[in-house]
Amino acid sequence: MKKIVWILLLVVFLPSLLAETFSQEPVSWTEVRSKYNWKLSPRFPESESVELFESILYSEDRLFLQTKDITKQTSLLVWNLGSGESTKLPWDRGKVTGWTECRGNLFFQTANTLWEIHPMTFAVQRKIVWPDKGKSWKDIVCLENQIYRLDGNQLETYNLSTGELISKTPLPFPSVQRITKRNESEIFLISSFWGNTIQVYSPKKQTGVSELKFPVSHRALFKLTAIGADHFLIFDPLTKTFGEWKGLEDTFFPLLTPLEIADGSKAYRFSPIQNQIEYQFQWTALVDLPETKFHFVLPKGNIPSQTLREESFPAETKLQVDEAGNRILILTIPVMKAGDTGKMTVYHALLTRYKIQWNLDPKQNIALNQSQSKKEFESYLQDDWFLKINSPIVLEKRNTLFQESSSLKDVLTKTQGYVASIPYKSGSFEPAPQVIEKNNGGCTEHSYVTMALLRGKGIPSRLVWNYLPTESSKEITFNHKFAEVWVDGFGWIPMEPLAPPKSKPGVTYARHVVFASLANPSHPQIAGGDRLVQLAKESLNLAKKIKFKLVVAKALEGEVMEDKEEGLVPLKTNRALLQGEDLFVP
């Protein structure tokens, strides 16, 4: 058989070639990178250890840690974040029981004394008589030229000039174990009793401001410090947690890899994974066959949650893209004799998948029924057998959930919360009313309920074919579905109730592989159900005359792909080759 000629699609042309005609608002992304290099975890000296409840101190690209050696001798370790080198700071003025940075200098607390120290020369600038004779650690922070100290469940305020106690304020939260500075007006309250929850507290107002979740172990939070405006660092030799996080809205995003922010801060994507992917296809003719055509569903190209580069296709294939950005690769196999067996790679690409969070600001008060008048959304608003949006059960649920809801954010949040509460149970693709009534179902049925509730409110929604990843797997399969909803100014955003964080509209951390977005469960180019390969319509009459199998192989970027073939290679009939989940078309 003739050698395959490969067509390479340069990444520079892909956005225009593969863009959806109307189905995604244009988005440009800006990167936020970490200040320091965390690709290799710091090698902390094995001879030194740190105490769990003692804080770290940050100043001008350096960290200060109090350590103990095997003889229990206390030292101050200075870690250079740029070079990764550490040195011991000569210190003979007693055990440090708290420290902070203030007005460009460092303040070290010891028994009876508060030391003001130059950050570069470490020369003592001033000694302040300090009302504490204890040897246990007590966090101190400096806000607006005052020192705040945690003592039990009280926050003490001291005059920075004289060291005199100004006030003692009971904290409105139990079991506070650590305080650390957030900015000039707020501090973080931390406790292992709360898990990885942080309470934001305003000393000036003497009240809690908000409650935040930090995406690390609660023990690692004891080594959290601010290094800039809503920019935080954790350096914890105990839990081996090292890195930076950026705080945006009410979420902390890791900066181990760049955080990307959409224009207007309307979305954030982060923690990407890059994979080489290959569609490895093999077939056997059971009888003499004429020219045969196959359709392959390819991943969607360059949507906010995933991008594709270095795509390549054999010359014998043809790429077809519809107005929703769904892509079909058409392969034509020449005349075959009974027993002919072939194998080839029909598609190769570098796939990048992101965790994504759309920032639906409730203050925007996006109106309902925003897109009903747009003709291109008609198919995403229609009723169907799997929705039954006007059935009594769906109507009752919609009325109960939404009542007086007037904003899109409110409707989406209530929809997501309700659908996420429906227990997962492998289903049989029952329509939305039955799923609501029985209160369980699979991912397809969860999607049906989401779409029924939203289309009934005049909100465009659609079904997404995708892979919910098992990152350790070497293969990608079509194993999952969720729904997407259109939001003016944002585009299509996910409504994923079965993968973390589940209850937030527009947010999913699953890093799906998205294959297709459809107005209804049936793909117009794929007959016979949920699959990524199928005979073309004109070849369906050959269904029982050919046996075929598709494996979508996955490897991390740089790994060698298994079973890669660079062309259409004739093979002898090989039963071992065709073992596994072979597909027979019904």
Could you tell me the CATH number of the domain that includes residue 399? 3.10.620.30
Report CA torsion sign: 494, 499, 500, 503. positive
Mean pLDDT of 141-161: 93
What's the pLDDT tens digit per position in 68-98? 998 888 999 999 999 999 999 989 999 999 9
- pLDDT level of residue 23 (50, 70, 90 thresholds): low
pLDDT of residue 41: 86
Higher pLDDT, 127 or 144: 127
- pLDDT level of residue 371 (50, 70, 90 thresholds): low
CB 262 within 8 A of CB 29: yes
Give the Cα separation of 563 and 568 in Å (integer): 13
Q: Prior bond to 501 cis, omega within 30?
A: yes
Q: Which of 6-15, 125-134, 558-567 has the lowest mean pLDDT?
A: 6-15
Name the DSSP letter for residue 379: G
Half-sphere exposure of 397 (CA within 13 A, CB side): 27
**Residue 437 falls inside a structural domain:** yes
**Does residue 227 carry a pLDDT above 50?**
yes
**Residue 277 falls inside a structural domain:** no
Tokens of 231: 């920019």
Report CA torsion sign: 429, 430, 435, 438. negative
- Residue 419 has phi, psi (to 5 degrees) of -65, -35
Same domain, 234 and 375: no
Choose one of 209, 225, 257: the last residue of a domain.
Answer: 257
Higher pLDDT, 375 or 15: 375
Mean pLDDT of 322-351: 96
Give the Cα separation of 89 and 87 in Å (integer): 6
pLDDT of residue 556: 86
- pLDDT level of residue 433 (50, 70, 90 thresholds): very high
When divided into structural domains, the chain yields a total of 2
Give the Cα separation of 221 and 304 in Å (integer): 31
Give the Cα separation of 159 and 201 in Å (integer): 20
pLDDT of residue 6: 47
Give the Cα separation of 444 and 480 in Å (integer): 7
Choose one of 223, 257, 291: the last residue of a domain.
Answer: 257
**Does residue 155 carry a pLDDT above 90?**
yes
CB neighbour list of residue 193: distance below 8 Å, 6 or more residues apart: 174, 175, 177
Higher pLDDT, 568 or 19: 19
**Residue 282 falls inside a structural domain:** no
Same domain, 228 and 377: no
Q: Where are the beta strands (DSSP E) in 20-123?
A: 29-32, 49-50, 57-59, 62-68, 74-80, 86-89, 98-102, 105-110, 113-117
Give the Cα separation of 551 and 580 in Å (integer): 10
pLDDT of residue 370: 57
CB 313 within 8 A of CB 6: yes
Same domain, 252 and 370: no
Choose one of 200, 224, 257: the last residue of a domain.
Answer: 257
Tokens of 99: 């420290």
- pLDDT level of residue 9 (50, 70, 90 thresholds): very low
**Residue 98 falls inside a structural domain:** yes
CB 228 within 8 A of CB 251: no
**Residue 12 falls inside a structural domain:** no
Could you tell me the CATH number of the domain that includes residue 84? 2.120.10.80
**Residue 131 falls inside a structural domain:** yes
Q: Which residues are registered as beta bridge partners of 101?
A: 106
Mean pLDDT of 143-162: 93
Q: Residues, the chain, total?
A: 586
**Does residue 585 carry a pLDDT above 50?**
no
What's the pLDDT tens digit per position in 170-218? 999 999 999 999 999 999 999 999 999 999 999 999 999 999 999 999 9
Same domain, 231 and 380: no
pLDDT of residue 427: 80
**Residue 204 falls inside a structural domain:** yes
pLDDT of residue 144: 86
What's the pLDDT tens digit per position in 395-412? 999 999 998 888 899 999
Name the residue range of residue 427's domain. 365-472+492-508
**Residue 133 falls inside a structural domain:** yes
Same domain, 377 and 240: no
Percent of the chain with pLDDT over 70: 89
Tokens of 224: 């959290």
SS3 of 277, please?
A: strand
